Amino acid sequence: MSKDEVEKAPCLGVENKHGARLLQLNFTCYYCLNMKLGATFSHRHLQYLGLDVKQSAEQYVKLGFNWVRLGCYWDEIEKEKGKFDFSRIEELLQFFEKNKVKVLLTVGMKAPRWPEYYLPEWIKKEFNLKYLGTIKPDHKLITDNLYPYLEKTVNHLKKFTCINSWQVENEPLNPFGEKRWRISPEILQKEIAVIRKNDKREITLNFGAGVASMPFFWNKIKDLDFDNLGLNIYFKVATIKGVFKYFPYVRNYSQVMVSGLINKARNSGKKIYLTELQSEPWEPDELVAHSDNPPSFMPEDFKKNLEKINSWDIDVVFLWGYEYWLWRKLIKGDNSYWQEAKNVIPFLT
């Protein structure tokens, strides 16, 4: 969508309930202008990609996002038991507060980007849980340290007015990470209680849409004390090696089940966030897609994926892939992803 196209597009004169004006372009309707739009900004992933975090943040605000999703990484903040260093996350919060960008801040033992779980080394070396295990309240090595860490984090960072909501864990019921662990709902409720005790801002819980598409998923989470339901949506994800030849990519959710879940959450007074909307490739056996034209997400898919969610009743959308676009631009010398984001984002916010 070019600037000229948007300027010439007729406005239908209506707004959705979240204040986004509806434009018509080439017989397709887009909810444009005033959309609450952001992206995940993982400083750990940026470092992994060899990118400067401060410069990456400066580039982020130039794109025109009005929201950002950040992560508190436990292994970074409490490298030694009882000794806390919030300097890195504070620098980012100071920057985004200065630039008037609202923040969804992830706290807990999980955070955005691989390896998913960010347990401090002094816990990691002592904690032993089987593959596909569930972390439960009786895992005292975790819980006896997690709740004090969480309380310390919330009390230290709540001074930042840019924090709009606390996201408790990241995809806690999804079996992700090196050992594909899950976090029990009982731990989630205790974490929520710790935050509620120390701050009044909204609580967000997010889940991969594959798990959220399972029958009776709402029954698993409906009694948890949260305000915003976050969903992570991917339209093309690589399948496992054995079937990749015949079915290389699949969608990670059921449209019918997710729509039903959104309706149930809405009827219970929850806001709906897309905490991850696929905006980078997901290729087989690659943490970062290196090929020139990865089929799971190419630049033209920015518009396509936004069109796919056009009719959904969503409060805030966070794109997943900002670090990737910048890496392609600065390290790979490929400006295509960045340019497409630059073309689309200003007309949505």
Q: Which residues of the chain have pLDDT under 70?
A: 1-34, 240-247, 347, 349
Q: Is residue 313 part of a domain?
A: yes
pLDDT at residue number 114: 97
pLDDT at residue number 75: 98
In which residue are the tokens 């969508």 written? 1
Q: Is residue 27 part of a domain?
A: no
Q: Is residue 144 part of a domain?
A: yes
Q: Is residue 29 part of a domain?
A: no
Q: Is residue 264 part of a domain?
A: yes
Other C-beta atoms lying within 10 Å of the C-beta of residue 300: 10
Is residue 312 a contact partner of residue 233, using CB atoms and an 8 Å limit? no
pLDDT at residue number 241: 59
pLDDT at residue number 160: 98
Q: Is residue 272 part of a domain?
A: yes
Q: Pull the structure tokens for residue 258.
A: 């997710």
Show Cβ contacts of residue 256 under 8 Å, excluding neighbours closer than 6 positions: none
pLDDT at residue number 344: 85
Q: Is residue 2 part of a domain?
A: no
pLDDT at residue number 284: 85
Q: Pull the structure tokens for residue 263.
A: 């309706």
The per-residue pLDDT of the chain, averaged, comes to 90
How many Cα neighbours within 13 Å face the side chain of 304? 12
Does the pTM of the predicted model rise above 0.75? yes
Is residue 221 a contact partner of residue 185, using CB atoms and an 8 Å limit? yes
Domain region containing 257: 15-20+34-347
pLDDT at residue number 247: 62
pLDDT in tens, 307-336: 888 878 899 999 999 999 999 999 999 999
Helix 140-157 / helix 87-98 crossing angle, nearest 10 deg: 40
CATH of the domain at 144: 3.20.20.80
pLDDT at residue number 348: 72
* 3-class SS letters over the chain: CCHHHHHHCCEEEEECCCCCEEEEECCEEEEECCCCEEEECCHHHHHHCCCCHHHHHHHHHHCCCCEEEEECCHHHHCCECCECCCHHHHHHHHHHHHCCCEEEEEECCECCCCCCECCCHHHHCCCCCCCCCEECCCCHHHHHHHHHHHHHHHHHHCCCCCEEEEEECCCCCCCECCCCEEECHHHHHHHHHHHHHHCCCEEEEEEEHHHHCCCCHHHHHCCCCCCEEEEEECCCEECCHHHHCCCCEECCCCHHHHHHHHHHHHHCCCEEEEEEEECCCCCCCCCCCCCCCCCCCCCCHHHHHHHHCCCCCCCEEEEECHHHHHHHHHCCCCCHHHHHHHHHHHHCC
In the chain, the number of structural domains is: 1
pLDDT at residue number 27: 42
pLDDT in tens, 142-151: 999 999 999 9
For β-strands 182-183 and 316-320, DSSP reports them as unpaired
Q: Is residue 7 part of a domain?
A: no
Q: Pull the structure tokens for residue 244.
A: 């990749």
